[in-house]
Amino acid sequence: LDGHNRASRLSLLSMAPAPVQVAYRFCSTLGADSVSHFLADRVVAPPELQPSMFHEALVLLPDSYLASSLQKRFPQDPPPASSAGADALRAEVRARHSLPLDAVVLACFNRAIKMDEEIFSVWVSILQSEPTAVLWLVKFPP
């Protein structure tokens, strides 16, 4: 039903078509009394912000709430962010994807249909104002 956007069908949830209704894939509360639970992880819902960010009861998944069919491989146990291993991994990943090591990487992995002219203009404006920024988009189909 896709959260709060132009094509949303959230009004259907107010009719309670299911005994338990769960939000998924949206990065913040829906704020709808008809949705009782929200699937998240500790990145989407940091423990210190959970009470103020979510109307729903949280169901925290252990690794990532986001299922993807892109079949990308990620390290099972990434090194701590402040370690030399993390710097090496960052350099390797950026090189693999042709991303400059010193760039600010703006990423949008939405489907292309969600990027209309207005959104793309915003991305262009950001890129023009930040000379070290690059925009990383996902290629569909993978």
User: Which residues are within 8 A (CB) of 111 and not within 5 positions of it... i.e. 6 or more apart?
Assistant: 140
- Classify 2 in phi/psi space as left (phi over 0), alpha (psi -120 to 50) or beta: left
Q: Which of 70, 45, 77 is nearest to 60 (CA)?
A: 45
pLDDT per residue of the chain (142 residues) written in tens, 0 to 9: 556 666 677 778 888 888 888 887 677 778 888 888 888 888 878 888 777 888 888 888 887 766 665 555 555 555 566 677 778 888 888 898 899 999 989 888 777 777 788 988 999 999 999 999 999 888 766 5
Amino acid identity of residue 90, one-letter, is R
